[in-house]
Chain A
């Protein structure tokens, strides 16, 4: 992996001078046949790839009217040019959203418009050749499909849709991305992105039950495959594995316990995430989602609640109805789908949770809006609920909360830099550079308000920040950013929520001693 320089954090955002092709060399590992074939794609670059790619483009233009509108309607006004975190972090003009769109638009014009067919040079149309395929592969994997640019586009052109279409065309001719496709294949084989088999999941959940009992003195359960439970929780498998995700999972368990509601995790659908969206494949997105429907029916649950995962919430909120609906097998008195933040917020509003905010007094929080939650979904029943509800939860459980620059939050939030299928070590350079705009806003609140922690509600954001934060420490200076600054929103809930009957002090010590004695027998 090539070495690269971490961008310097500036006091004010600056639009960089252009450096042509500086990120040309950034390409993720290519998927092998064993990654592509389970998804229904050819193993490697197919013969006749050019015609097949054009055919696929035609197919997508026919299926997705939006795509054609986006390709036709750009007037090159330039409003989007400085809105992409990857452009701001890399200075590469092809990372301007309009230029990224043009990579596909130029080929669209050549084969699907009158002017492009007869006067290609006049309208910026170009032939599809292998160089174009390579360029697509590189620059459409420098887009996290975060849709920030579309907020500022006067026509609402959605670069994410264009990126998804480009990746779908690439997959169709056998040029897949290893990271995404390997993961989707694991979902089909094992049930989750991580490849966590049922015995390991069971063992992890039991281990967490023991941990929670040691901390509360109460037998809080994380049930697996319990038929007839009221709620099925689907959550990113990172919540079973990674830090700080796992502390969020403990938080959900504590909330469910206090609510006195029966719930379960499914070993068959042990993944909320859906990388089918990242690769723009409707079929794969549907196949992944279907596992959740099947598990819910099989377990006979009444409700499905989502854990902290950004893109999964988008898939569920925006696509589930057509992908796997109707949901007539669920209780119509509850929203489908429902977010864990909605669930917790509801209990807070009804004063059903005993909160000791001082438990979080050692922290000063800020909140990072995840792109997919912010710009593609909602929570609660009011516009902007997806912004207000997570903040209301944090403020209900913490005394110290600070907002980042409003130009970088809510619908204008910057992506963490690792979304959209880019959260892989082979894309470290683009991930670090793309994190720069968010890091500048975070740095400001760390410097000015002593913020100690960055709260997130997305597994990708949590992993990405944990990884890239340390890159932004200045050499020789005292360490300002560390991976443990990143926290799950439900970790904060966990720390402040006092359960009915929870044990403390000597009583808790005695309980833990008894647990240890029982384990030794």
Chain B
């Protein structure tokens, strides 16, 4: 147990992003407490994906600061996996030349391996205190399990990947290539690849896009049970309202509201942004 848990796992302070004359994000601040599910919503072009890109290091903010576990942090895309941050892409972004299993294995790099499956199903609170410790724990339990020889590491990553595919209900496609699979399945594979990294922060960019009601129901269940911090960009309001602890609403890059689903659904500014000003 860390004696002093940072109040906010991830925080964004006054982030502004300008692309030439266009202000994509204007003074956005967001604090994400460990274990919370935070939704980011807004009309098209509101800057939701830009916000994700800032956190992932694809876009460097014009001004503002990001901190992780209370320390200032400059995100770099390929470091995210090691830091326990995983993100899915809006499209499906899969490796068409790799089998589904290999696709997931790319994400399962063994940085955050804790025991067998314990980490995954741990409750929210436990999952988050464990967030920091997991790096060390993981490494310790990992070694005797057979890192010494490559084959051992390979088998571990394969097991991890299969377990995650199983969890997402798509294990039967493990040896097929993703290109030929239906969209909804590919979405699940994408999710599996993110989960395979055993992230403590999971960033989902429109995970429900193109899914039917049943699929969305399944997704909602998964998000609630994941036990990690979740950042969610989504257009599907029912999903956002039902799973999120906190919602940030953006409009033309400006944060217009931040609060619980109940507060957001009664906020006038939000209704205005979505439906236009009342006559």
Does chain A bind chain B? no
Listed in ascending order, the chain B residues whose CB lies under 8 Å from chain A are none
